[in-house]
Amino acid sequence: MELHCRTAVYCCYFVTILLVLLSITSTKAEAEEDPSSIISRFQQYLQINTAHPHPHYSQAADFILSQAQSLSLETRTLEFVQGKPLIFLKWPGSDPDLPSILLNSHTDVVTVEQEKWSHPPFGAHIDRQGNIYARGSQDMKCVGMQYLEAIRKLKASGFQPVRSVYLSFVPDEEIGGRDGAEKFAASDAFKNLNVGIVLDEGLASPNENYRMFYAERRAWPLVIRATGQPGHGAKLYDNTAMENLLRSIESVRRFRASQFDLVKAGLKAEGEVISVNMGFVMNLQPSEAEAGFDIRVPPTADPEPLERRIAEEWAPASRNMTFELRRFKQKVSLHAKFGKPVLNVTDISNPWWTLLEEAVRKANGKLGQPEIFPASTDARQFRQQGLPAIGFSPMANTPILLHDHDEFLNQDEYLKGIDVYGSIIKAYASYIDHTRKEAPRDEL
């Protein structure tokens, strides 16, 4: 009798161990989904044409909401402007009193010149090297889908966040973000999320080091106009419109060269200098000529000397010249609301920065030096609200092709980026030391 009882106990013990092992194996299998399915979902998102001037926002929104449903995430759709849906999703944390995590991405992409692509820009073609060709493969549909795939893996592994994790998919970033992130960041809906840290887009890296951005340059679109005496094309005149404009262009060229020399010499990174690029236009009337300049100013630069240079050297009234800094010029300021700096701290005093660095290394990634983003992103909208916002896109060993023909991302690099984001989200969502006691509970 005793032998039978002992045998029964051993059997039960064996069965229990077997069930545990089967459960672990099953969980691991769920977490390690077939890569072809992951890539297929990425391709589906890329195949939705959200290029300006007529982005198919509703199709993108439907796709994102279907992915959220498959992950059992809470969803909400906002339209600050009709026809431009903003989707945000919630993975609730166990402690809603802690500031939440916001993972931001934009659904729109820039226009394409289809005849200059080797593969259809919305076909998401994969070549023999595993490169996925599509507009948005780098900027930035990859990031939005990597967020979702990272959460899919974390959920399958049984991870439960302490902080709530939000994902926002916003429109119109490529045309300034005024009907998207700008309105979102200023809304009560955003305030109710109780956000503590924002992740947004970065840039591809041609080498093995991922790039991290703690600030960004601001756009100063400038138009300089010159006037002069009209007349016959065969006659010589002093101070013609074209002559005056060419003097200004030469002055701008010298300034541009001086800034570019700093980058070439390795003294400054691209995001740390003032860049000027020209687009030339001449009116039909020979008495007028104008040129447009795309100026990008880092937040570390004092804007007043540049404004004086424009007024006194590039477009002086003494040469019958005027200038216009267009209405969407963003004034450079080192401070956001409440006097907080728009430049994120990149040392141990900023736990979000160090957590990201540690999480990337845990995922076997390497990091370069902190940088100022050379262009503008939606991250500026959140920094202006006094929040830390980090620009980061896990794309190493990848040529920088955003807005270029034949934009692509290798599928292996995409899959590795999912694991990197998984490590970051896990680190952020588990962090409990950094709190804002006065902040409200997060809510969707």
Q: Does residue 29 have a pLDDT over 90? A: no
Q: Are 431 and 93 in contact (CB under 8 A)?
A: no
Q: Are 38 and 149 in contact (CB under 8 A)?
A: yes
384: which DSSP letter? T
Cα 113 versus chain centre, distance:
23
Among the listed ranges 70-84, 192-206, 236-250, which one has the minimum average pLDDT value? 236-250
Highest mean pLDDT among 148-152, 260-264, 271-275: 148-152
Give me the residue spans of the domains in the chain: 36-216+334-430, 220-297+300-325
**Set 149, 173, 357, 407: catalytic member:** 173
What average pLDDT does the segment 346-359 reach?
Answer: 89
Q: Does residue 100 have a pLDDT over 50? A: yes
The SS3 call for residue 238 is coil
Is it true that domain 36-216+334-430 has CATH number 3.40.50.2000?
A: no
Query: Residue 299's pLDDT is what?
Result: 86
Query: Residue 281's pLDDT is what?
Result: 47
The SS3 call for residue 54 is coil
Residue with tokens 């300089």: 224
Give the whole-angstrom CA distance, residue 129 versus residue 106: 27
Among the listed ranges 152-161, 257-266, 334-343, which one has the minimum average pLDDT value? 334-343
Q: Does residue 337 have a pLDDT over 90? A: no
What average pLDDT does the segment 232-240 reach?
Answer: 65
Please list the alpha-helical segments (H only) found in 32-134: 35-46, 57-70
Band of pLDDT at residue 51, cut at 50, 70 and 90: very high
Binding-site residue positions for Zn(2+): 106, 139, 174, 201, 403
Give the whole-angstrom CA distance, residue 109 versus residue 379: 17
What average pLDDT does the segment 399-426 reach?
Answer: 98
The SS3 call for residue 273 is coil
Give the whole-angstrom CA distance, residue 18 versus residue 23: 9
108 is catalytic: yes
- pLDDT higher at 43 or 434: 43
What average pLDDT does the segment 272-279 reach?
Answer: 89
Say what percent of the chain tops pLDDT 70.
Answer: 83
Three-state SS annotation for 304-369: HHHHHHHHHHHCCHHHCEEEEECCCCCCCCCECHHHCECCCCCCCCCHHHHHHHHHHHHCCCEECC
Query: Residue 92's pLDDT is what?
Result: 98
Band of pLDDT at residue 33, cut at 50, 70 and 90: confident
Band of pLDDT at residue 9, cut at 50, 70 and 90: very low
What average pLDDT does the segment 330-352 reach?
Answer: 62
What average pLDDT does the segment 29-36 reach?
Answer: 72
Q: Which residues contact 347 (CB under 8 A, 6 or more apart)?
A: 353, 354
The SS3 call for residue 247 is helix
Q: Does residue 288 have a pLDDT over 90? A: no
Tally the C-alpha atoms within 13 A of residue 97's C-alpha that lie toward its C-beta.
5
Give the whole-angstrom CA distance, residue 361 versus residue 359: 5
Query: Residue 280's pLDDT is what?
Result: 54
Among the listed ranges 57-61, 199-203, 245-249, 418-422, which one has the minimum average pLDDT value? 245-249
Query: Residue 234's pLDDT is what?
Result: 58
What average pLDDT does the segment 323-337 reach?
Answer: 58
CA distances from 137 to 6, 49, 117, 290, 406 (A): 62, 12, 14, 36, 10
Q: Which residues contact 400 (CB under 8 A, 6 or more apart)?
A: 138, 203, 204, 206
Q: Does residue 25 have a pLDDT over 50? A: no
Say what percent of the chain tops pLDDT 90.
Answer: 71
Query: Residue 27's pLDDT is what?
Result: 45
Q: Does residue 443 have a pLDDT over 90? A: no
Binding-site residue positions: 106, 139, 174, 201, 403
Mean pLDDT for all residues in the chain: 87
**Set 108, 200, 272, 290: catalytic member:** 108
What average pLDDT does the segment 172-187 reach?
Answer: 96
Query: Residue 444's pLDDT is what?
Result: 76
Q: Are 279 and 269 in contact (CB under 8 A)?
A: no
Rounded to the nearest 10°, the torsion over CA 51, 328, 380, 218 is 100
Among the listed ranges 134-148, 206-220, 226-240, which one has the minimum average pLDDT value? 226-240
Query: Residue 107's pLDDT is what?
Result: 98
Cα 144 versus chain centre, distance:
10
Band of pLDDT at residue 328, cut at 50, 70 and 90: very low
- pLDDT higher at 28 or 359: 359
The SS3 call for residue 84 is coil
101: which DSSP letter? E
Is it true that domain 220-297+300-325 has CATH number 3.60.15.10?
A: no
Band of pLDDT at residue 58, cut at 50, 70 and 90: very high
H or E segment to which residue 105 belongs: strand 100-106
Among the listed ranges 15-19, 231-235, 250-254, which one has the minimum average pLDDT value? 15-19
Name which of 1, 367, 351, 40 is nearest 196 in CA terms: 351
Q: Are strands 86-91 and 131-133 parallel, antiparallel or unpaired?
A: unpaired
Highest mean pLDDT among 20-34, 281-295, 420-434: 420-434
The beta-strand segments (E) located in 382-424 are: 389-392, 408-410
Give the whole-angstrom CA distance, residue 420 versus residue 402: 21
Q: 342: which 2 tokens? A: 């728009």
